Structure 1
Amino acid sequence: MNISSYNFHAPSSLFFSWYDYILFGVMLSISVLIGIYFGCFGTKQSTANEYLMGDKRMKPFIITMSLIASHISGTTLLGLPADAYRYGGTFLLSGISMFFVVLATIYIYLPVFYNLQITSLYEYLELRFDNRTKKLVSLLYILYSFLILPLIIYAASLAVSTATGLQMSTIIPLVCTTCIFYTSIGGFKAVIWTDAFQCIITQTSVIIVFVLGIKSVGGFTEICTRAIDSGRLDLFNFEFDITKRHSFWTIVIGVSFIWLSNTSVYQTCAQKFLAVSTLQGAKLTVIFYGIGIVAIKAICVLLGLVIYANYHDCDPFTTKEVTSNDQLVPYFVMEVAKGAPGLAGVFTAGIMSSGLSGLSANLNCLAGTIYVDFLAQFLPHISEKTKCGILKLLVVVAGIVCLGMAFVMQYLGGIIPLTITFQAVTNGPILGIFTLGLCVPRASAKAAFYGAIIGLISISGIVVPAQYFQSQGLMNDLPKPVSTENCTFYNQTLVPETVPNETFILFKISYFFYSLIGSIVTLVVGLLISFMDNSDFTVDEKLITPLAHFLLPENKKAEYRSVDAALKSLKHLK
């Protein structure tokens, strides 16, 4: 709806009380103390392997907690409820997507990566293809990290700013410096244990807000009734329209590829799977991780429907009490918190925790990728102490860069579409190139490299113009209906909202399909080049997923190059 005229009084500010500040301060202090313990006491992360992988002796439960914490960031806790409030709860269907993702990870990707026992996931690409391909994909991961980490920082800082009234210019450095400190000195074990602590804080806070929200509106039945009446629970829309923001196929197909790229071939996630002491334990971790992710995302979607039920007759967007999607959840929490002392502090600490978890995990992996894939070859004979010092320095430098970039995130649009857009540009081609290497024995290094290049160019050619048209108001997704009939001190005239249709259909494709497109283009181009390439080579079956071993010709199963020898060479460089 567009507002042609309005007249209202803004509500009184709702900020932290003294006990909220205490709870918030305790959370930050515990995170820092965990980093200090592992950095200055404990085992002190004395080797590069321990600093990056926890010496590969981690247990499934603690890794699962860390994975959930680092993947349920502020972009989820703020963006997903707001998305459900405005566009409906179709994302509840993502549980179907995760089922396929878990199966693919366990049976296609994980067995090969785990048995190779590599530190950086991109080392596989050098073993399977060549150094040029590894460098390309490593650069794509680094690019993605520097795009997405500032967004994570911004989302966490926004929640704190809304709750405390402090300026973003104060909050952003606080978030970053806290995380940089305990990540740099504590290494992988500090990341894991702070993630576990922060996961408990985050999920507890979300559940408390969810329960109080249900109570405030009169029960879950009333929430469902209002959601159904407004069309927000129209889950089984089987219309196949690639331009439709939410539908059954958009979520089940599109989200499957998003989560597959964020789970199976994503360094931050794979590094934790590979840190578990056994392959069976790693598989259990994948299963528990999938269950946990689906559960918390379902709660976030339902929280969005709870918020709608509370504001179904007085939309805060229309009254301008909330001016962006990212402010809706903090606004609702501050209202609910009036009757629950300390709740605002707990929830805001949860948002901050989710941001710290995502930031710390990615900084640790980013430092490891930069060192292993780019610096190690130039520093072949340095001591373990020096390696750890370099890794710590990389964490600090990367954190400072992300801190600076976080200040521009508020000008780039809504959190959820922006996150998925950033993911698609890099993660789609990365998923395609790994899948090509694992599943197609005939795929050559040339096919992988140029497939990734063309996949990257193709998806960028869709995403960049789409973002431009979106920013110019030439494309808008129609939200579900809202009302202001019972707003106090509010009088306005509403006119129906229209959506311009001047843009080409290619640029109106739902952003949920971006990762799918990037990976498919990479795969198809890679296959075409492979079958046109008459080069005769064989590949070690250890580099091919067990499900594709039947594609290996019997007379070509001899090693093209020794995997064991290549791994020893890589370890020597480290």
Structure 2
Amino acid sequence: MAAPTTFGSFSAWDYVVFVAILLISALVGIYHAVVGRGRESTEDFLLASHQMSSVPVALSLTASFMSAVTMLGAPYDTYHFGAVNGYFAISYMLVVILSAEVFLPIFYRLGVTSSYEYLELRFNRWVRLCGTILFMIQTILYTGIVIYAPALALNQVTNFNLWGSIISTGAVCTFYCTLGGLKAVVWTDVFQIVIMVIGLVAVIVQAIILKGGISKVLNSAEHGGRLNFWNFDPNPFHRHTFWTIVIGGTFTWTGIYGVNQAQVQRYISCKTQTQAKVALYLNLVGLWIMLVCTVLSGLAMYSLYYDCDPWTSGKVTAPDQLMPYMVLDILGSYPGLPGLFVACTCSGTLSTVSSSINALTAVTVEDLIKPHFTTLSEKRLAWISKAMSLLFGAVCIGMAGLASLMGSLLQAALSIFGIVGGPILGLFTLGILFSWANCIGGIVGLISGFAFTLWIGIGAQIWPPPPEVTKPLNLSITGCNVSQSRNQTSWETTILLTTLSETSRKDRAEAAMSLYSLSYLYLSTFAILIVIIVGLIVSLLTGGRKSQIDTDLLLNWTDLFCNCPTSSRGDGIEVMESIPCQNRVTGNDNPAFSHM
């Protein structure tokens, strides 16, 4: 494909489409602020008064999960490393099952607003504080990447200033989060997920038309080695294989869906536990649809540029710019469609950032303010929540600057979840599954797991894994014109520089190099194992067997087979269940606290 003559420009229709997406999102926040006037409370602002239904929550879960990082990073990942990441479909299924059947019953039964309240109930206040702080660090760092991603897309396809894009996107998101709370977040997510799917489908369809059919797209991908599904290598140092994705991916994403406040806060806002489970399982369908779209986008990208890679030939300066480049290349002649894709990417940002801001506000109010200021009224807490939303919106915008230093957006985001999310998931798992785990074992296990993942994560940034471990597939520039490429030997030069770089590292110990080359998806897995093993050993040595733990804080067999009543329905109909199930308790009279 030739370089697009309009690259770097935006038509008037593109601006109209993009501005319309931002405007509609802002109007949703204004609507919910007006409708909710006069009944301000933290429960309404943070949990929508537990009145959300399954379908909008399911769409919101999918939208916030499939962020702009996914929109830009996942197609490139398929383009450069192959469609083996399609195995994430299995990971998503396992993640949803674990979240719905293991973690959801615990949180719903205890009636918590912040998922980290569980850590105080199960261990003590200091463990809860550690979990809250780690979550806040993780979320702020990740949100910085998510804000940076669409700004990068805008910077590549328009003459917008990079920081102008970052500030405008972040400001709109902060605006409707502050005004409308969780209801605004959920309903804007519903609108934004529709835009995301439409944008990806438009790109895929146009690429298929240009190639002359889906069969030709798949043939190009097969000849280029992109249909590498039969990769069952058990080596944990290889970046993407069946095992690293299914095992490592499951633990990485469970840290998000199972215990991360941004996702937990959505499904516990449902009217009943049954509806919350339905929302999670409906969300699984959405995840599969988005995965298929991103994989097909990457395969379509390869079919267009298999003999003239835009990155190697110098048409783009970073791999995460390939997706917006392709959009301008194949859709630049259609007014409004490039703007639709940028709006699609922006929707991914808005959905994820809004959930992050809302979650950060929730843990700040519930974990840091309420325990120390018990005399505050509900109305004043609601205003404090809005002020916190403004504050965290500004912080997240500021953190976006760091994202430009993190290389591949997708891997950087998942590495953050592995480094921080893995130890936190290990701590929750320790408390839910093992009755003899105590607070000392929990805190020592958490510190041990976090120290390990931080060490490996930082080491992998300083000494990136060599190509023989990451297994990138070949990118060619044989079809490029001399005037279009940086130089005809750029690919060979890249390989030579990589070889020289690796030669200069021969003085590193082999063991250290192997650890730093561990697949980023396994960070969570190893962190969870370390937290549980260390936590159990320390608990046994410090009298954990003598602990008396409320059974409501542990996973029970009835949690796996229970269908909670839906008596909260307005039509007066109740669904009877064969196994009795404890209703959710909300408010300050949570019975779990009385046992502590």
Same fold (TM over 0.5): yes
Contact kept? 1:160, 1:171, Cα under 8 Å: yes
Q: Which of these residues, 41, 47, 66, is aligned with residue 41 of structure 2?
A: 47
| Residue matched to 1:183 | 177
* Cα distance in 2, alignment partners of residues 343 and 259 from structure 1: 32
| Residue matched to 1:412 | 406
| Residue matched to 1:537 | 547
Deviation at 1:250, TM superposition (A): 1.2
Q: Kindly tell me the number of residue pairs found equivalent between the two proteins.
A: 552
**Structure 2 CA distance for partners of 1:434 and 1:99, relative to 1, 3 Å:** same
Q: Does 2:514 match 1:517?
A: no
| Residue matched to 2:575 | none
| Residue matched to 2:488 | 492
Deviations 1:508-557 (A, max 9, x none): 1111111111111111111112222325121111111124999xxxxxxx
**Structure 2 CA distance for partners of 1:505 and 1:45, relative to 1, 3 Å:** farther
* Cα distance in 1, alignment partners of residues 587 and 48 from structure 2: 25
Deviations 1:460-497 (A, max 9, x none): 111111111139x8998342112222223346134272
Contact kept? 1:102, 1:286, Cα under 8 Å: yes
Deviations 1:290-331 (A, max 9, x none): 221122022102211110001111111121001212101000
Contact kept? 1:45, 1:51, Cα under 8 Å: no
Contact kept? 1:14, 1:335, Cα under 8 Å: no
Contact kept? 1:363, 1:398, Cα under 8 Å: yes
Which letter does structure 2 place at the counterpart of 1:396? Answer: L
Contact kept? 1:475, 1:508, Cα under 8 Å: no
Which letter does structure 2 place at the counterpart of 1:322? Answer: V
Which letter does structure 1 place at the counterpart of 2:262? Answer: T
Deviation at 1:14, TM superposition (A): 4.1
**Structure 2 CA distance for partners of 1:233 and 1:532, relative to 1, 3 Å:** same
Q: Which of these residues, 221, 230, 251, is aligned with residue 227 of structure 1?
A: 221
Deviation at 1:238, TM superposition (A): 1.3
Contact kept? 2:47, 2:265, Cα under 8 Å: yes
Q: Which of these residues, 268, 271, 278, is aligned with residue 284 of structure 1?
A: 278
Deviations 1:359-387 (A, max 9, x none): 11110110110111011122211222211
**Structure 2 CA distance for partners of 1:565 and 1:339, relative to 1, 3 Å:** closer
Q: Which of these residues, 431, 452, 456, is aligned with residue 462 of structure 1?
A: 456
Which letter does structure 2 place at the counterpart of 1:525? Answer: V
Deviation at 1:228, TM superposition (A): 1.3
Where does 1:309-328 land on structure 2 (aligned, <5 Å)?
A: 309-328=303-322
Moved more, 40-49 or 285-294: 40-49
Which letter does structure 1 place at the counterpart of 2:168? Answer: L
State the SS of the aligned residue for 1:465.
helix
Contact kept? 2:445, 2:532, Cα under 8 Å: yes
Contact kept? 2:31, 2:180, Cα under 8 Å: yes
State the SS of the aligned residue for 2:463.
helix
Where does 1:83-482 land on structure 2 (aligned, <5 Å)?
A: 83-470=77-464, 477-482=470-475
TM-score, normalised via structure 2 length: 0.88
**Structure 2 CA distance for partners of 1:363 and 1:377, relative to 1, 3 Å:** same
* Cα distance in 1, alignment partners of residues 124 and 248 from structure 2: 30
RMSD: 2.3
**Structure 2 CA distance for partners of 1:523 and 1:45, relative to 1, 3 Å:** farther
State the SS of the aligned residue for 1:411.
coil
Deviations 1:323-343 (A, max 9, x none): 212101000011121243211
Which letter does structure 2 place at the counterpart of 1:412? Answer: M
Deviation at 1:564, TM superposition (A): 10
Deviation at 1:455, TM superposition (A): 0.6
State the SS of the aligned residue for 2:470.
coil
| Residue matched to 2:537 | 528
Where does 1:3-42 land on structure 2 (aligned, <5 Å)?
A: 13-42=7-36
Which letter does structure 2 place at the counterpart of 1:206? Answer: L
State the SS of the aligned residue for 1:460.
helix
* Cα distance in 1, alignment partners of residues 181 and 25 from structure 2: 13
Contact kept? 1:88, 1:234, Cα under 8 Å: yes
TM-score, normalised via structure 1 length: 0.92
* Cα distance in 1, alignment partners of residues 38 and 76 from structure 2: 42
Deviation at 1:163, TM superposition (A): 2.1
Q: Which sections of structure 1, spanning at least 5 residues, go unmatched?
A: 1-7, 551-562
Contact kept? 1:83, 1:325, Cα under 8 Å: no
Moved more, 373-382 or 431-440: 373-382
* Cα distance in 2, alignment partners of residues 446 and 565 from structure 1: 29
